[in-house]
Amino acid sequence: MSQLLPFKLGAEVYALELIDVQEIVEHCQLHPIPGVPETVLGAIGFHGRIVPAIDLPLLLGFPAGLRSERMIVLTDEHGPVALVVDQLLRIITLDLVHSVLSQSDSEKDCIRGVLNRSGQMISMLDLAQLRLLLQQICTGNGDRK
């Protein structure tokens, strides 16, 4: 039985599997990283480590809005990287979830698949694609602007 951490990006609900989440941090001070694209909000001190924080809505093309004070820090396997989202929702367990909709094949939206939870559509965030996106941002830094 797997657990999901849903969160809002704009009007949509996305979710991560809890197993990919290392910690949820609150009121973390953001320190600017010099010379980074605007999707990288800065860095946080996370248990003595420097972890970059990403503006996930902006990265995925959602409009600017009120960002949550809390950040999701992914496990070391996926970074570590801190994701800033619009709003965090309550954790849900998968057996309450109904049918998985078709796999998304769009490359840009980082969606691994869509769940239908009693009418509520939840997009599963594709971490592999997210990583590719981040990679592009970091290496393409010199080419932008």
CA distances from 127 to 28, 40, 113, 144 (A): 23, 17, 12, 24
Tell me: does residue 26 bind another protein (CB under 8 A). Answer: no
Tell me: does residue 48 bind another protein (CB under 8 A). Answer: yes
Among candidate residues 10, 15, 6, 21, the one with its CA nearest the CA of residue 124: 15
Q: Taking the complex as a whole, how short is the minimal distance between the CB of residue 17 and another protein, in angstroms? A: 20
Among 1-9, 46-54, 58-66, 99-107, which window interacts with another protein (CB under 8 A)?
Answer: 46-54
Residue of 1, 11, 26, 35 interacting with another protein (CB under 8 A): 35
Residue of 26, 29, 66, 105 interacting with another protein (CB under 8 A): 29
Return d(Cα 77, Cα 11) in angstroms, integer.
Answer: 29
